[in-house]
Structure 1
């Protein structure tokens, strides 16, 4: 559903640029459910060096309207005390901050809110745009199997409200296959992000759609699970989403032998098991600690800690939370873990091929598993994924699992390389404003279907 005009009345509308001021730059916007990653290249004809510079200068902001508990000095006053994007850098108190997100279960459901976030990003981040003077072309990303009505809504937002002249939407889970770190013409992209995890086979630049597999578990669910555990065992932090998310990212790790480590923990004396060493210093705005989200405690500094400070000790939680990606049945989710997800995707690609061809294709795909997404940053994730996949893969096939240099920017970087290759081939990529005006949103849907 497209944004209503009532919901957009207060949004800063972009003025369409005249031909004299129109730049040839292209804005790339990876519209993740958790964070937006955005960058700009100077023209239609850009090089690998331009891509590296753009990725290095990329802007990363939460894809949400954030409401702090108290008013933040220096931030413009808006209805509901809402903050966007880089304004959060001025915030020194993240406790009980609420987040209104345009995405639900990975797909955009509130286009009015999404427009507010995009408008703020494009109007206030100099590295991306400059008050509308660079609104020539925009390339966005969307998750696998994005419904047609969402493409229609986004095309209306891009052309009619933001004033861009050219537009294309790419599949975010497929784009890492085109990044510079990927050399083979066949790979499986495991994207484990904010809302869900996908295993996407890509062969010769084309997604094998029938083989795509999804796990309905991502970083948001892991954070919510950790909130419940901490609130039950220690402090009530059900309203401290930002702080608990920081704890998850900074303290949790993937265990190489989960069951053995749990059994070892249970063998410890009760005195040690229930009085563990504190792991995390919770934020305290009154004392001005160095990080408003708190920080990890150095074990060497434990004896010198202020006894009145609020510290948090985690035991099994540190490994239980990431373990859910490998064993979602632990919380009653009857789906395959990420290791089985990749294997199911590979086997689906080769299901109807002759035995010799099927074995060759499996060897290509298993030999190039690309891991991206924020959850892959858990320490030990790649090593555990490799260990869990090895018994599921034929012994004669070499298995290689690689993580992108920056897993959270892999889709953004890949979309740039994809665009560069496609435009060099001379094939049409963008839908223009003139085409949109003549044929309507359906031209976007038909054009984008031909890209994957």
Structure 2
């Protein structure tokens, strides 16, 4: 029985069959694209047949990190399972698919219905991308098992997540999110270039290619900015990008130093401080008005929520995945900033992948190859037909703790020093408690405190009722 692996990202889908595409999956755009040049529609993998990428219109199944357009997503999945890509019979195959962090329960139910009722997979497993990284090679060291404490930074299309992993499980109460992803960076670059040079507001595809080719993360933002200000033309940062010529089938590229150009047929875009000011948003979201901390401060805040005796291991095992982490200088800038935030006795090590976009898929392939994947992890079609979506809720680890996991979560919170939470829990469960130790109603889900007949109501509250005439109405 073949196992299909789908790293279902918001920008691209990394798809393959276990044992066939373990290291080189098919990368399919997760979009339905309308081309203005030939007035044709391209679904997912068909975009490779497009010859003119100017003024493309994108219909994205994902919006703000969640899968909302199921018609578009189904059309893209149908193309992936067809003979043009994977050529797989879904009714005789198993599936491993990734889902967004903090995915909504209703959306999860639709995932399950699609896979079992629409595609009729034999078995199925759904999880978040970061939970698979411990099975991959990102933290692999010779003759050593994978570390038990990991901190994954997943910077993708919609958001950037900081995800702690403890013994293979996501520590959800310490997961942090920054509302900055590849989509925001591309849009900001479009606006900047359109204001300064060319009107590129309709050229999302071309500007995304320019971002990937030219942008880098500055290790000294103030010094690089001063270099571009003092010498606006002749400095090592400025690059010229030659726009693609689709009529002559010439792709876009960076102009070589001293290269002569035919000004009648070749147009260029000058990239100066845009090269590093756009990725700087990841480290300083306040530059565009977001009231959020930067990536380094978010990592430190996430580790601070973990058990104190384990925090040193998380500082030493930080991994980078997602397309934004492929920018040059990302790892060096993050390491230098984290070193200033970490305790002096902790070692800070950031592990980067040579291909961060494919890292999750390769880790998923290693996980699906385990002998216990089909028997212990995946939900079978028979189990779904018998129990419905509850079968998936029982087997798939979710960000909402199950009743059996609440004790473990309380112990983990106790290790972080949450004495106040333990006091409230004891007060809510105690049969006798005074007014000082009772938890207020609705704060921790416990029962309201017992009535205190000796406590008099406030003067303002009593006068307010009388002034409105409430007591008279009740008496009448």
Question: Is TM-score (shorter-chain normalized) higher than 0.5?
Answer: yes
Aligned equivalents of 1:447, 1:230: Cα separation in 2: 48
Aligned-pair distance for 1:425?
7.9
Change (3 A) 1:273 1:296: closer
Correspondences of 1:394-433 after superposition (within 5 Å) = 394-421=343-370, 423-424=371-372, 428-433=376-381
Note the residue ranges of structure 1 that are not aligned, 5 or more in a row: 1-23, 42-49, 72-79, 351-357
Q: Could you tell me how far apart the structure 1 residues matched to 2:222 and 2:312 are?
A: 31
CA shift in 2, pair 1:425/1:156, >3 Å: closer
Q: Residue 306 in 1 paired to residue 262 in 2?
A: yes
Deviation at 1:277, TM superposition (A): 6.0
Residue 401 of structure 1 and its aligned partner are, at CA, apart by: 0.3
Provide the residue aligned with 1:45 in structure 2.
none
Corresponding position of 2:240:
279
- Tell me, what secondary structure is at the counterpart of 1:319? helix
Q: State the match for 2:184 in structure 1.
A: 221
**Residues 92, 210 of structure 1: CA spacing in aligned structure 2 closer, same or farther, 3 A cutoff?**
same
The CA distance in 1 between the partners of 2:40 and 2:155, in whole Å, is 32
**Counterpart for residue 365 of structure 1:** 314
What are the residue-to-residue correspondences of 1:155-304 with 2, within 5 Å?
155-182=112-139, 183-268=146-231, 272=233, 279-286=240-247, 288-291=248-251, 294-301=252-259, 304=260
Say if 1:103 and 1:109, in contact at 8 Å, map to a contact too. Answer: yes
The C-alpha deviation readout for 1:176-208, integer Å capped at 9, x for no partner, is 232123231211000101100011111111111
TM-score (norm 2): 0.78
The residue that corresponds to 1:119 in the other structure is 78
Q: Secondary structure at the match of 2:95?
A: strand
Residue equivalent to 1:147: 104
Deviation at residue 87 of structure 1 after TM alignment: 2.0
Aligned residues: 392
Shift of 1:450: 6.7
1:108 corresponds, among 54, 59, 67, to 67
Query: Aligned with 1:300: secondary structure?
Result: coil
Give the equivalent residue in structure 2 for 1:46.
none
Matches within 5 A, 1:130-145: 130=88, 132=89, 135-145=92-102
For residues 399 and 165 of structure 1, the distance between their equivalents in structure 2, rounded to whole angstroms, comes to: 44
The residue that corresponds to 1:26 in the other structure is: 3
Q: Trace 1:318-337 onto structure 2 (pairs within 5 A).
A: 318-337=275-294
State the secondary structure of the residue aligned to 2:5: strand
CA distance in 2, matches of 1:242, 1:331: 22
Mapped contact 1:152–1:442 kept (Cα < 8 A): no
Match of 1:445 in 2: 393
After superposition, give the CA deviation of every residue in 1:404-427 in whole Å (9 maximum; x if it has no partner).
232111111222333344x43886
CA distance in 1, matches of 2:3, 2:375: 17
Specify the alignment match of 1:13 in structure 2: none
Q: 2 CA distance for matches of 1:278 and 1:188?
A: 35
- Aligned-partner Cα distance in 2 for 1:133–1:348: 42
Distance 1:31 1:337 in 2: 26
- Cα displacement (A) at 1:443: 2.0
Give per-residue Cα distances to partners, 1:116-173, cap 9 Å, x unaligned.
10001110444x333x267421110012111111111111111122221211101113
The 1:368/1:441 distance shift into structure 2, 3 A limit, reads same
What does 1:386-401 correspond to in 2, within 5 Å?
Answer: 386-401=335-350
Shift in Å, 1:86: 2.9
Partner in structure 2 of residue 35 of structure 1: 12
For the 8 Å contact 2:218–2:329, the answer to whether it is kept is yes
The answer as to whether partners of 1:252 and 1:321 remain within 8 angstroms in 2 is: yes
5+ residue gaps, structure 2:
140-145, 402-476
Question: Is it true that 1:67 corresponds to 2:18 in the alignment?
Answer: no
Shift of 1:70: 2.5
Q: In the TM superposition, what is the alpha-carbon distance from 1:345 to its structure 2 partner? A: 1.4
Q: Conserved in 1, the CA contact under 8 Å of 2:238 and 2:273?
A: no
Tell me, what secondary structure is at the counterpart of 1:408? helix
Counterpart contact for 2:138–2:319, Cα < 8 Å: no
Q: Mean alpha-carbon deviation: is it higher for 402-411 or for 196-205? A: 402-411
1:67 Cα deviation (Å)? Answer: 1.0
Are 2:333 and 1:384 aligned? Answer: yes
SS at match of 2:97: strand
Residues 210 and 249 (structure 1), Cα distance of their counterparts in 2 relative to 1, 3 Å cut: same
**Aligned residues of 2:239 and 2:254 also touching (Cα < 8 A):** no
Q: State the TM-score, normalizing by the size of structure 1.
A: 0.82
Find the structure with the greater CA-based Rg.
Answer: 2
- 1:435 counterpart (380, 383, 387): 383
Give, in angstroms, the shift of residue 338 of structure 1. 1.4
Greater relative CO (CA pairs within 8 A, separation 6+):
1
Aligned partner of 1:19 in structure 2 is none
CA distance in 1, matches of 2:57, 2:112: 29
CA 1:134–1:412 in structure 2 vs 1: closer, same or farther (change >3 Å)? farther
Q: Distance in 1 between matches of 2:63 and 2:208?
A: 18
